[in-house]
Amino acid sequence: MDSYTLIGFSVFLGAIFVGGAISISKMLAFHSPEGDRKVQPYECSEEPIGGARIRFKVAFYIFALLFLLFDIEALFLFPCMKIFKAVINNQVVGISPTILFVELFIFIFILFFGLIYAWRKGVLTWE
């Protein structure tokens, strides 16, 4: 637990660094006169038309879903990977190396098959 306590302090370092830089800038910077034009959103020097929170393509959502799936898969693979070397070298009692190996293959194969399915369905194309 010592490791994580120390790292916990590092979280604030980022805030101190950026917060400090921005505060120094706010104190030292020259303030141009306030006005309407100054705070308008930038659209290549034209008048902005409409609100900024527009609708965007559903492809973003699909890729986020796929990312979620494969990330959870990686997370499930993690404990397996950690003990893989020990089990393969017959150092762990109670887990047979062949069974672990075959299970790993089946798991990765199922996910591979899922990827091929998504590929053939055409969801992996961006446009």
Partner 1 sequence: MTENNMNPLSTEMLYPVQNGIGNMVRTLFPESAFIINSLISICSLFLLVSLLPVFLIWLERKVAARFQARLGPMRVGYHGLLQSSADGLKLIFKEILKPEGADTFVFFLAPILPASATFLVMAILPFDHHLQVADPAGGVIYVIGISGLSILGILLAGWASNNKYSLLGAMRSGAQMISFEISLTLVMLLIVMLTGTASLREIVLSQQGTVADWWIFKLPGLGLIAFLMYMVSSTAELNRAPFDISEAESELTGGFATEYSGISFAMFFFAEFVNMFVSAGIAATFFLGGFLAPQIGVAFIDPLFAVIPGFVWFFLKTFFVIFLYMWFRWTFPRLRVDQLMYLEWKMLLPANLLLLMSGGFFMAMGGIL
Closest approach of partner 1 to the CB of residue 95, in Å: 14
Least separation, in Å, of the C-beta of 11 and partner 1? 6
Nearer to partner 1, 8 or 94 (CB): 8
Residue 70 CB, nearest approach to partner 1 (Å): 5
Q: Which is nearer to partner 1, 58 or 94 (by Cβ)?
A: 58
Distance CA 65, CA 70 (A): 9
Which amino acid is located at 53 in the chain?
Answer: R
Minimum distance, C-beta of residue 13 to partner 1, in the bound complex (Å): 4
**Residue 36 or 94 with smaller CB distance to partner 1:** 36
For residue 93, give Cα distances in angstroms to 79, 97, 103: 16, 10, 17
